[in-house]
Amino acid sequence: MSKTNSRVPECPKGVRHRWAPTQTGCRENPGVWSVGGTTLVFSHTCQRCGCRRVETRYGSQRNPGQRDGVEYIEPVRDEDAA
């Protein structure tokens, strides 16, 4: 099971994350999904450690007080699975 949080986890490689679009989503723009109205979800994966960054942008059709969000999903490592 993967671990989800809203803080940027450190890259285990000891360097900064190297984000690249996840190779799913719409064909014209990999890593991007429309989830209705003006809401878009952007997914990027660190090429160094496999951590995923998922951003939700609500656009102009948002509820009062609703804010854009970012969550980080860390991959399961062998030592975590034990």
What digits encode the pLDDT tens for the residues 16-34? 999 988 877 667 777 787 8
Q: What are phi and psi of 78, to 5 degrees?
A: -55, -40
Does residue 63 surpass a pLDDT of 80? yes
Higher per-residue confidence, 30 vs 42: 42
Q: Which domain holds residue 25?
A: 3-81
Among 60, 69, 63, smallest CA distance to 7 is for 69
Residue 46's CB is within 10 A of a number of other CB atoms, namely 21
What's residue 1's pLDDT?
41
DSSP assignment of 8-44, as one string? PPPPTTSS---EEE-S-EETTEETEEE-STT-EEEEE
Structurally, the chain folds into a number of domains equal to: 1
